[in-house]
Structures are given as C-alpha cells and as structure tokens.
Copies of this chain bind each other. A is one copy, B any other.
Amino acid sequence: MILKSQVEWALHCCAILAGLPEGRYLSTKALAELHGLPKEYLSKALQSLSQASLVETTLGPSGGYRLARAPSEINFLEIVEAVEGKALSFTCTNIRANNPCRAEGYCDSKPCAVARVMWEADEAWRDTLRRVRLSDLVGTLSEEVPAELWRSTFEWVLKRAG
C-alpha cells in the first residue's frame, strides 16, 4: 500500500505555489527543474490538481499554475486525494457471503465487521491529513529552511515566472 510519487511532488509544488506573489503563475517547467522531476510526468500531477480545482491555470508565456484558494483554505487531504484518488484503501469483497452454511438469499444487515475496522483506520488517516493546512506546511518550512535558501529559491522561481 504505497502512495504514488506524484503525491510527494504535488505537495512540494503546492508549497512553492503558496509562496508566490499575488497574481503570478509558475510553469510546469519551472516546478520540474526546481525539484529535479520529469517535466512531462509532473505535468500529470499538476493536471490532477487543476481538475480538483485546487489550482488555476493560464496559457502562454508567463502562464502556468497558481493556487485557486488561500493556503489556509487548502488541506493535505485535498491535495493527496486529487492525485491519489478518493478510493478507500481497503476494499471489502464480502467474502463472508461465500460461506456455504449461509441460507440462500440471506442478506447482511450491516457492512462486514472486518471492513468497518479497516475503514475506521482509513478515516483516521484522512482525518490527520484533513487537519493539516497548506499554510501550516508553509509555516513549518519558513521556520526550518535557512532564510537565505528560502529567499534565493523564490528569487530563482520568480525569474522563471515571467
């Protein structure tokens, strides 16, 4: 049960987009170079963010991506689900229904007890991600990343933002 690498990419890209000045866009090319990622494939992750309405896009030179909402209004779960999908990690195939002792046409009133536990764990995972906002990540980063690196990174990025 491993998350796609695109999840990591999308989170880091959102962190950068969150630091962009108002009204500026950042292209796939710039984000790929900044993180050392394959441009064409990263593009798929960014398209997922776009489809989830987490980012807005514009075409042409100086075009690219920017956040569709304030970083405080975007949480980790939204970003993760945008690229990973919303499917639950546990799929119940209802194997209890194959019990040869069951009466023909018998119908369970509740979802399988095994599935309920697994789904509860899934929900705990989602809850944790839901509680962390993109602005929390930016706050942590600006504390932990050396100020000079933080500054030069955005200088580098803005030079590529047209």
Contact = CB atoms under 8 A, between A and B. Distances in A.
Interface string A88-110: 01111101101111110010011
Q: How many copies does the complex hold?
A: 2
Nearest to A117: B132
Interface stretch (A1-9, A50-58, A62-70): A1-9
Interface residues of A, number: 59
Contacts of A141: 113
A95 B36 contact: yes
Nearest to A127: B124
B114 A137 contact: yes
Interface of A: 1-5, 7-9, 11-12, 15, 33-37, 76, 84, 87, 89-93, 95-96, 98-103, 106, 109-110, 113-115, 117-118, 120-122, 124-129, 132, 137, 140-141, 144, 149, 152-153, 155-156
